[in-house]
Amino acid sequence: MIIQPVVQPSYASAAVGDREVSDASWRDYWAMTKPEVNVLVAITTATAFCLAARAEPGALPWTRLVQTFVGTVLAASGAATLNQWMEYPFDARMRRTARRAIAAGRIEPTHALMFGVALSLTGVAWLAMTVNPFASAVTIVTLVGYLLIYTPLKRYSALCTAIGAIPGALPPLIGWAAARGHLDDPAWALFAIVFLWQFPHFMAIAWMYRDDYDRAGYKVLPRGDWRSGFVSVHTLLPLLVLPSVSLVPALTDGTSIVYRIGAVLLGLGFFHYAVRFALHKSGSTARQLLVASVIYLPSLFALMIVSRG
């Protein structure tokens, strides 16, 4: 295995053609926002909004849905950028993240900081002005939990997954709050689904890149002989509860039998790959579980929307 050396960022290396620097910077700033993660954030937020809005008579408020989408994605993009700003010295030690814009020296840390703060504040302010203050407040809680609690905790304790799953599961509450101005029981069911889903999703990532995390000094997994058992428990235990939570009566009232069958089948498929990973941990089984997790959540939320007509 070839280990890439830790190289200190050199911002002078950007002295190439102005056109090339401009294009590279645009792509780097876009990548810092983690658009692939924002897709899942947008799906969970929009689903919660639609379910909450359809619980009341009248047409779906499309304008407010778009406004919620914009504000949430802006805030999530800011959080992703600020996370990379906080962790860029450690990103440089990991093969998976060494080429990120700040770690590789293509974007100065102060520029990334200003960009992330601007995105986060714009998202929070946008939600407060165009949607409602409660949705904005939930977004602030999400940002604080993710950036000030979860991100630093990754370097101190494997409990970071459980703690980080809380702000990670808040986007559905943002969507529900945006539609209703308050939270009802179904909103917490959506929160629970996303909360539980994150454990097998992150365990797959943590196992795939465990050497990278160790090299950078992250303690997302415990060291020693009980690492494997820790990963198995945190992968399987949430998935024993998740199928039941996905069928909470308060959430499925008014849904068709298609949703119930689909939710069960999706849960069984997800659990199948989790068991394979728990029994035979490898890069291959971890990657398969990761793919299964990425398929499961959007599919389940899509079924919720379709089944309500």
Q: Which residues contact 287 (CB under 8 A, 6 or more apart)?
A: 204, 208
Residue with tokens 């020693």: 224
**Per the confidence metrics, is the pTM higher than 0.75?**
yes
pLDDT band at 196 (very low <50, low <70, confident <90, very high): very high
Portion of the chain with pLDDT greater than 70, in percent = 88
Q: Which region among 14-18, 69-73, 252-256, 294-298 has the lowest average model confidence (pLDDT)?
A: 14-18
Enter the DSSP assignment of 4. P
Q: pLDDT of 120-155, one tens digit each?
A: 999 999 999 999 999 999 999 999 999 999 999 999
Residue with tokens 């990963």: 231
State the DSSP H helix or E strand holding residue 70, giving kind and residue range, or none if neither: helix 62-91
Amino acid at 240: L
Q: Output the pLDDT for position 66.
A: 97
pLDDT band at 252 (very low <50, low <70, confident <90, very high): low
Q: pLDDT of 150-187, one tens digit each?
A: 999 999 999 999 999 999 999 999 999 999 999 998 99
Residue with tokens 């235990």: 237
pLDDT band at 20 (very low <50, low <70, confident <90, very high): very low
| Residue 266 token pair | 């999706």
Mean predicted confidence (pLDDT) in 266-287? 96
Q: Output the pLDDT for position 8.
A: 39
CATH of 27-183, one of 1.10.357.140, 3.40.50.11540, 1.20.120.80, 1.20.58.100: 1.10.357.140
Q: Output the pLDDT for position 249.
A: 59
Domain boundaries defined on the chain: 27-183, 185-309
